[in-house]
Amino acid sequence: MLEGCVPWPDEAAARYRAAGYWRGEVLGDLTADIAKSDPARVAIVAAGRRHTYAELDERASRLAGGLHALGVRPGDRVVVQLPNRWEFVVVCLALFRLGAPPVLALPAHRRAEIAYLCAHTDAVAYICQDTHQGFDFLGLAEDVRGEVPGLRHVLVAGSEGAQPMKPGFLPLGDIDAEPARLPAPDPGDVAFFLLSGGTTGLPKLIPRTHDDYAFQIRATAEAMGFGEGDVYLAALPVAHNAALGCPGVLGALRAGGTAVLAASPSPDEVFPLIAAEGVRLTTLMPAFLPLWLDLAPLFEADLSGLTIEVGGAKLRPEVAERIRPELGATLTHWFGMAEGLLCFTRGDDPPHLPVHTQGRPLCEDDELRVVDEQGRDVAPGEAGELLARGPCVLRGYYRAPEYNARAFTPDGFLRTGDVVRFAETGELVVEGRIKDVVNRGGEKVPAEELEEHLLAHPAVRDAAVIAVPDPRLGEKTCAVLVTAGTRPDLAELRAFVAGRGVAEYKQPDQVRYVDVLPRTGVGKVDKVALRSATG
Ligand code: OOB
């Protein structure tokens, strides 16, 4: 396995192979069979264009050839930041084939996050789109190249034939060569990296192997009854586990279906696509559901054939209950983590289960424990921290040995930081969390990361970031600050954080000022006290 990654112990790996979870599939082969047997079948629909399996397969092979000719080698890391466009799929397939794992950044990330990802992974290339939603990624790329000298190439989608590029910048469309003869990657090795949603400090990277992700996309497709010819709609960013592989875009391709890529989950974008393409399955964060419920009658949207996977943040039962009667759609409720643990209700579960629980684990051999603060198993039905081990659950974050020593038990269970209990009938129920993250409508803001940025402001002496309730997003960030003299207002703080090159969703939503932050006996900021004082 790639240096800096933690493999599963041999005994566990042998067990997962023997049970048939890990079958030695490699993700670069997802499209190869259908590209031969039914080349004209539509693989991807994006920006009003339809791309066949043959086209996708060939373009990915030629891109892999071109990248190889540029000097990208198996084991090299490539930071990929592309929105929901067909190039995202082509780039991923090409890099899977090369065995050069893509590091999947979100479109919302900015200079600070991208520079960190490039530096932390020693990336040889950064692949982006020239502009997206008015933001200039070429400027960002230039800054990142200045900060990270090891970054050799910037490959740019969207500006084919535009102005001549700067040295080291190349149009992605020009990276095209005869498919190289490449050794097949080891299925036990890293196929790509996802970013962790919940962590202390800087984002942690999650190595996903060919074996483990191939199992995830196959088993989630089976559980959702998604098969050949079915259509999946990616309305969330495809770089996120939820839309990428549950079964998501990659699962749709593996099953011989079609993936439709939407620019956003907004009803005017997705309702027409659902009707036109006959979408069977999609994924949504809870924050979008009220809008879908309110606007579906206006659009006369027929969603009766649709299954909606909802997860990523707390789904309120009052909202969940409206889905079947008002949309006619089937709800499945998910508790997912980029780290690989997936629990979800199945489409044929009785209706109260998706309203009140997050269902059962993906795999029979997922081992879930609920423990108290001392790490002892709680009594059945009681709440505690969820620990997880299984064929998709990582054993260590990339290049993070010290963090790993805290994030995992000595016997390899991931400490999820989520507080859960199990219903008598065996379903998972999420109750809260102990990790210091604000879950802003599914987008995760690590408190410590934002605190560091706020502390860099010259007027700020002390900073604590907490979650406050929000009717739309569920939670928002509140920065509780101690200052010397002047008190910058919210607009100034947001501009300051933005100026440090941070994704917009991480900018504070509210600010409160105090004379001193409450501290616990050991000197840590007492966030429980802060929350009750601000709540
Ligand atoms: C999904 O993945 P991540 O990695 O962005 O976030 C994981 C965290 C969990 O640890 C938990 O704190 C929270 O998101 N979460 C939920 C939840 N599902 C996830 N909190 C409350 N209720 C839920 N149903 O968010 C993700 C990955 C794959 C599928 C779906 C979601």
Domain positions in the chain are 27-184, 211-433, 437-534
Mean pLDDT of 438-467: 96
Give the rounded distance of the alpha carbon of 272 from its chain centre.
25
Q: How far is the CA of 494 from the centre of ligand 1 (A)?
A: 26
Q: How high is the pLDDT of residue 361?
A: 98
Identify whether 247 is preceded by a cis peptide bond (ω within 30 of 0): yes
Token couple for 10: 């041999």
Q: How high is the pLDDT of residue 163?
A: 65
Look at 167 and 56; give whichever has higher pLDDT. Answer: 56
CATH topology of domain 437-534: GMP Synthetase; Chain A, domain 3 (3.30.300)
User: Hunting for tokens 């990336």 — which residue is that?
Assistant: 123
Q: How high is the pLDDT of residue 140?
A: 97
Q: How far is the CA of 342 from the centre of ligand 1 (A)?
A: 9
| Binding site membership of 441 for ligand 1 (Cβ less than 6 Å) | no
- Per DSSP, the three-state class of 471 is coil
Q: How far is the CA of 344 from the centre of ligand 1 (A)?
A: 11
| Binding site membership of 332 for ligand 1 (Cβ less than 6 Å) | no
Q: How high is the pLDDT of residue 181?
A: 86
| Binding site membership of 433 for ligand 1 (Cβ less than 6 Å) | yes
CATH topology of domain 211-433: Rossmann fold (3.40.50)
In this model, does residue 533 exceed pLDDT 90?
no
Ligand 1 test: best mutation among 238, 335, 343, most atoms within 8 Å of CB? 335
| Binding site membership of 334 for ligand 1 (Cβ less than 6 Å) | yes
Question: Does 27-184 match 211-433 in CATH topology?
Answer: yes
In this model, does residue 69 exceed pLDDT 80?
yes
- Which region among 11-25, 151-165, 280-294, 417-431 has the lowest average model confidence (pLDDT)? 151-165
Whole-angstrom Cα distance, residue 247 to residue 228? 13
CATH topology of domain 27-184: Rossmann fold (3.40.50)
Q: Phi/psi of residue 210, each to 5°?
A: -55, -50
Whole-angstrom Cα distance, residue 340 to residue 216? 8
In this model, does residue 160 exceed pLDDT 80?
no
